[in-house]
Amino acid sequence: MAKKKWKKHSILPGFGLSLGFTTLYVSLLVLLPLAMIFVNTASMSWADFRATVTEPRVVASYQLSFGAAFAAACINVIFGVLIAWVLVRYSFPGKRVIDGLVDLPFALPTAVAGIALTTLYAETGWIGQFLSFKVAFTPIGITIALTFIGLPFVVRMVQPVLQNFDQEMEEASAILGANRFQTFIKVIVPEILPAALTGFALAFARALGEYGSVVFIAGNMPMKTEITPLLIMTKLEQYDYAGATAIAAVMLVISFFLLLFINGLQWWTNRKFAHS
Amino acid sequence: MAGHIPLQYSSTKAGKRSAQEPLIVRFLLITAALAFLFLFLLLPLLAIFITAFEQGIGVYAASITDPDALSAIKLTLLVVVLTVPLNALFGVAAAWAITKFDFKGKSILITIIDLPFAISPVIAGLVFALLFSAHGLFGDFLFEHDIKILFAVPGIVLATLFVTFPFVARELIPLMQSQGSAEEEASLTLGANGWKTFWFVTLPNIKWGLLYGIILCNARAVGEFGAVSVVSGHIRGLTNTMPLHIEILYNEYQFAAAFAVASLMSILAIVTLVLKNIVEWKAGQHG
């Protein structure tokens, strides 16, 4: 009888089994391990914790990680919307293949992407030799790797919105005297904005924690090209578990807020669709 | 969240003729998009295969039949065989509980399932190091019983389970939500038991979504690097997965060998993309 208070009655079987298994699995595999971060952090003194997470080398890594992830997510929004637009609105040879290729960054192991990009952008590489500035082993290289990793998010968020978009709204805007650019800014952009923002946030969140594709192209110089996940790795290799855990706790809290933000955005997107 | 691609059913038909841009604008937009995709996607892919064969087919063949490479391939397969079915089972159970019943705390459960996507893979590895290292929660217990988890295969399996576990669940939850449970209720009313209903009613309905989730889960399990890197200990021939083996070769300047192994993984990635598109197409036909 107590069960009914928190669960609505259903004639379908398997509630206890499926929820029980799910809860056990999630608790053992995710909650218990993640709790270790906070348990271990809590055993540090506040002064120690603050000193660890505000050390200049750590702060430099936050700045780099945030800056590069932000830049990459911005590039992804611009080109992601462009690619989604081109794939939905225009027809050209090879479109289906290109549409499928967009998901390559999700399918390709990050380490493979990392060594490929480093080879391309190294000073003697296919692309690097034509550039007058250094790309590999600089923040620009990091941004390129993060752009690669985040590319599919914006495209895949915006594409379905454009597909379902009622083109009569554009025609109405054109009949009312707006030119194509005005129609784009005033009719189409507001419609795809929530999806584009969600894609941006997803790409940003992924870029913030990315490790595999970045370590090869970054050069990993402390204070200059050392991203936060790499710093955690370095501390672990030196058996500085407390230091690694403290930085991880900061990143976890940031990730958690990003997750809340993304859920909020998705709720906004759904509401937009529900009333239109 | 990160890494989650919703299954898309829609076709890629071009828009209507009205309200279109002038030809020159269209041409410029298509060129810009294709140039970007060429630079960021196609060129890296080409670079992998060309560099892999740079020193000839002999070096290529030697690189992928090297004992260390073979043991890395075997370990990666072992990890996939252990993690993907477990996470598929979890995905189905979680989706069943979440979509077929109303209970308190449901949205918290959905958020928790999303968590591994939002967390850096390095942190995913770190948490298992904290649990199983000599100073960790289970450190003493494991030492007394002489069980090795960290820097051994079980640690790699656990870390991979962690980073890949949302894929199937995230694919099935929206799908089963949109399907509702009218068909299952009908089946039960007609006298079928729970398992029969699941097997003959639910499973055929969700098979494409399930397969899609498994494909994505598999791709990530094969290629996971950050999390596995923390817990593996990099012992050659024992705890090196394919991505870790590539890293070692690359850092030793054995570029041709590194790219040879990388090319195998790239072929797998391309197969993944092709399968994914076939599943999308099939799902579009049935959905």
- pLDDT tens column, A167-220: 888 888 888 888 888 888 888 888 899 899 999 999 999 999 999 999 999 988
Q: With helix as H, strand as E and coil as C, how does A29-47 read?
A: HHHHHHHHHHHHHHCCCHH
pLDDT in tens, A36-83: 898 889 888 999 999 999 999 999 999 999 999 999 999 999 999 999
Average pLDDT over residues B265-281: 94
Q: Are A12 and B81 in contact (CB under 8 A)?
A: no
Is the pLDDT at B199 greater than 80, yes or no? yes
To test the contact with chain A by mutation, choose from B130, B149, B181 the residue with the greatest count of A C-beta atoms within 10 A, namely B130
Of residues B82 and A174, more confidence is placed in B82
Average pLDDT over residues B163-188: 92
Number of domains in chain A: 1
B154 touches chain A (CB under 8 A): no
A76 touches chain B (CB under 8 A): no
Is the pLDDT at B256 greater than 60, yes or no? yes
Average pLDDT over residues B27-33: 95
Residue whose tokens read 């990793």 = A149
B17 touches chain A (CB under 8 A): no
Q: What is B56-286's CATH topology?
A: MetI-like fold (1.10.3720)
Average pLDDT over residues A8-37: 90
**CATH code, domain with A250:** 1.10.3720.10
Residue A5: predicted pLDDT = 64
Instruction: Please check whether residue A263 lies inside any domain of the structure.
Output: yes
Residue B53: predicted pLDDT = 93
Which residue on chain B is closest to A16 by alpha carbon? B97
To test the contact with chain B by mutation, choose from A102, A115, A127 the residue with the greatest count of B C-beta atoms within 10 A, namely A115
Instruction: Please check whether residue A176 lies inside any domain of the structure.
Output: yes
Residue B7: predicted pLDDT = 65
CA distances in angstroms from B207 to A207, B15, B46, B273, listed in the order given: 32, 31, 34, 18
A189 touches chain B (CB under 8 A): no
Residue numbers of B between 71 and 130 with CB closer than 8 Å to A: 90, 93-94, 96-98, 100-105, 109, 111-116, 118-123, 126-130
Q: What is the DSSP string of A204-223?
A: HHHHHH--HHHHHHH---TT
Report ipTM for this prediction. Answer: 0.89
> Least CB-CB distance to A7: which of B39, B101, B136?
B101
Residue B11: predicted pLDDT = 47
**Coil vs helix vs strand at A88:** helix
Is the pLDDT at B19 greater than 60, yes or no? no
Of residues B148 and B41, more confidence is placed in B41
Cα separation, A268 vs A161, in Å, equals: 13
For residue A133, with 0-12 CB atoms within 10 Å meaning exposed, 13-18 middle and 19 or more buried, which class applies?
exposed
Instruction: Please check whether residue A38 lies inside any domain of the structure.
Output: no
To test the contact with chain A by mutation, choose from B45, B54, B117, B127 the residue with the greatest count of A C-beta atoms within 10 A, namely B127
Instruction: Please check whether residue A15 lies inside any domain of the structure.
Output: no
Average pLDDT over residues B55-63: 92
Which residue on chain B is closest to A211 by alpha carbon? B226
* Model confidence band, residue B14 (pLDDT cutoffs 50, 70, 90): very low
Instruction: Please check whether residue A18 lies inside any domain of the structure.
Output: no
> Least CB-CB distance to B30: which of A13, A86, A156?
A86
**Domain span at A129:** 55-275
Cα separation, B20 vs A171, in Å, equals: 9
Residue B218: predicted pLDDT = 95
Average pLDDT over residues B192-216: 93
Going by the DSSP 8-state scheme, the letter that residue A227 receives in this structure is: -
Instruction: Please check whether residue A16 lies inside any domain of the structure.
Output: no
Which two three-digit tokens encode residue B145?
């019983």
CA distances in angstroms from A11 to A14, A15, B38, listed in the order given: 10, 10, 54
Which residue on chain B is closest to A99 by alpha carbon? B12
Is the pLDDT at A4 greater than 60, yes or no? no
Residue whose tokens read 């197409």 = B281
Cα separation, B209 vs A16, in Å, equals: 24
Instruction: Please check whether residue A234 lies inside any domain of the structure.
Output: yes
pLDDT in tens, A225-236: 999 999 999 998
Residue A97: predicted pLDDT = 92
Cα separation, B215 vs B88, in Å, equals: 10
Of residues B285 and A189, more confidence is placed in A189
Which residue on chain B is closest to A86 by alpha carbon? B30
Calculate the average pLDDT of chain B.
89
Residue B150: predicted pLDDT = 87
Is the pLDDT at A84 greater than 80, yes or no? yes
* Model confidence band, residue A275 (pLDDT cutoffs 50, 70, 90): low
Residue numbers of A between 217 and 246 with CB closer than 8 Å to B: 228-230, 232-233, 236, 241, 244-245
pLDDT in tens, A125-157: 899 889 888 988 999 999 999 999 999 999 999
Nearest to A258 by CA among A66, A38, A109: A66
Distance from CA of B127 to the nearest CA of A (A): 5
> Least CB-CB distance to A248: which of B42, B123, B222?
B123
Residues of B in contact with A164 (CB under 8 A): 10
> Least CB-CB distance to A236: which of B103, B129, B272?
B129
